[in-house]
Amino acid sequence: MESPPDASSGLTPSPGAMQLFFDIDGVLLNFERSFVAFLNREHGQQLPEDYQSPNWDFTEVMDKQAMDACWFAFVESPAIGEMAALIDPAVFNALGEAHGVHLVTNFPQPHMEKRVENLARLGFRYDSLHYCGIHPFRDHQPQTKGQVIASLRDAELQRRPALFVDDHPGNCLDVHENCPGIEVWLMSRRFNRDFGHPGIRRAKNWNCLLERLGDPSNHHGK
């Protein structure tokens, strides 16, 4: 589990505040645009810069073995720490003035420093960042996002409203099933367009979430 420098990792909201849990890639940071630029530059692809894959793993572009090699090269490159924001950081930070804001990510733990630096450079502020992970790393065993969030919400916080946002249907299902009472939102991407679930709400973009939460800065999402 990682926490950002100079940020509290405790969940201590003010009275009436919600606990907001956000994925990073595809919710706060534009992973696809950076990855597409990397594929075009380093691997001779000619994809449109705003290309969105119909598959989570981009296997329509090249076979899985080749794509896996591209992924590992991408996370080792400087580009992994140079992603653009999907929401104006000032708007996001304004949410944190009213609610507790916590990030949960499966981004590879060995490269987490790049991710934290990327968020800081863009100006994002948040209370804590937690690594879930799909692979073991050092003494950290993988946990699902639902397991991590459930462990953060003690008996008192379980009485407070909470909201989770992710762009991967599997993560949304996990939190919906393992964190009773948490409002779950799926951020729309091309690869998740066919997913539907009666207990999971869909956000076409950040404006949908700001309408739900209230936009204290009166800005609009990117």
Contact indicator for 100, 16 with CB cutoff of 8 Å? no
pTM: 0.87
Q: What is the CA radius of gyration of the chain?
A: 17
Q: How far apart are the C-alpha atoms of 140 and 200, rounded to whole Å?
A: 29
Q: Tell me the three state secondary structure of residue 23.
A: coil
Block residue for tokens 């950290």: 140
Which pLDDT does position 153 carry in this prediction?
82
Q: How far apart are the C-alpha atoms of 12 and 50, rounded to whole Å?
A: 39
Phi-psi region of 80 (alpha: psi -120 to 50; beta: other; left: phi over 0): alpha
Which pLDDT does position 132 carry in this prediction?
85
Q: Which residues of the chain are modeled with pLDDT < 50?
A: 1-13, 137, 219-222
At 94, which amino acid appears?
A
Q: How far apart are the C-alpha atoms of 172 and 44, rounded to whole Å?
A: 34
| pLDDT tens-place string over residues 156-178 | 566 679 999 999 999 999 999 99
